[in-house]
Structure 1
């Protein structure tokens, strides 16, 4: 039984990783000097109880090595999230409500190349389970990194500001006041 569960998880993680590579969100890591600073993130799968055959790959930025984690070293940035109470009250104010789910929101924002060595992970060469393990690195912000919510919120607000000229100030204000990023 354990073997079947392990095989299923590996296959589901393989599917998750295929999407990651196909979308150019990860790359094979270049060889670096041993003195250059780097960090490796453990990867594990998480299932939603209502979606037992769909897995979310999680890079664990909170995993500790020698008493510290990547998240311990990162600045989380300011809390830019709109207040839930304020959003809910404004949600009920009008006759029409708008709800959206941006799939892989954090993956919409790239990580500077000089910072990608802090997002290294091990995976199978050519994304074929059974091949030797190879070093890769993430090119986008990931769920679980402490700065990701602030970066995504800032990015959403910047897009709203940039679109003001073409879509009007009402759209910009609406997005800035009523959109709320959650990490559910």
Structure 2
């Protein structure tokens, strides 16, 4: 799905030099002994293999944005590291988020989701694994999500890569991801049970909440929700 770029955004500043300087500072932290750098390297390697495209083309000035990134750890889950693009970081007074429109709130009402979840005997909860990573950015827009990382060794200069998916740090991503979920229900839902279509469209609030008055109906709903999401 398209990045929601403003049509009248100013020409992009040169961001490669300052972002590359940030990466050289990051390298000093990562080469130190410790579990955190190892986790960061492992998650980046895994993500590069599965999600990202190497940028092989040369982008002309004004059509590429190099985003710096950082890693965060959940205080209750120290063994899990998440890599975040810093889309709010400003270069010469402009950030990538300044170029993006903040889309309408497409999140379901929490109260509505909870009301639908109560009153039945059988319940199920789940979520979409790394939901934003399931929503791809068109190839012609990926230069706006360029970044530096090392391909083989920290002894080398970092290579240029670009994101193929929407990012948690981008202000437009939550709305786009929720729109993609609802569009999946609309585009592919006709071949599925009505309860599964309604769940995908209306019963997600980050996590998915499903409730039915019969166990067999709950199992059907769960299985069909998984299959419907695969279609999108």
The RMSD of aligned alpha carbons is: 2.3
Distance in 2, Cα, partners of 1:101 & 1:136: 29
When the two structures are superposed, what TM-score results if normalisation uses the length of structure 1?
A: 0.86
Distance in 1 between residues matched to 2:29 and 2:147, nearest whole Å: 24
- Would you say 1:151 and 2:184 are equivalent positions? no
Tell me if 1:130 matches 2:155: yes
Residues 14 and 129 in structure 1, CA contact (< 8 A), matched pair in contact too = no
Match 1:20 to one of 9, 29, 47: 47
Give the unaligned 5+ runs of structure 2. 1-27, 208-232
Whichever of the two has the greater Rg, that structure is 2
Does the aligned pair in 2 maintain the 1:153–1:181 contact within 8 Å?
A: no
Q: Which residue of 2 aligns with 1:63?
A: 89
2:134 aligns with: 108
Give the drift of 1:6.
Answer: 4.7
Which SS does the other structure have where 2:126 is aligned? coil
Which among 32, 35, 58 is matched to residue 32 of structure 1?
A: 58
* TM-score, structure 2 as length reference: 0.69
Q: Which runs of 5+ in 1 are unaligned?
A: none
Aligned residues: 179
Match of 1:51 in 2: 77
- Give the corresponding residue for 1:88: 114
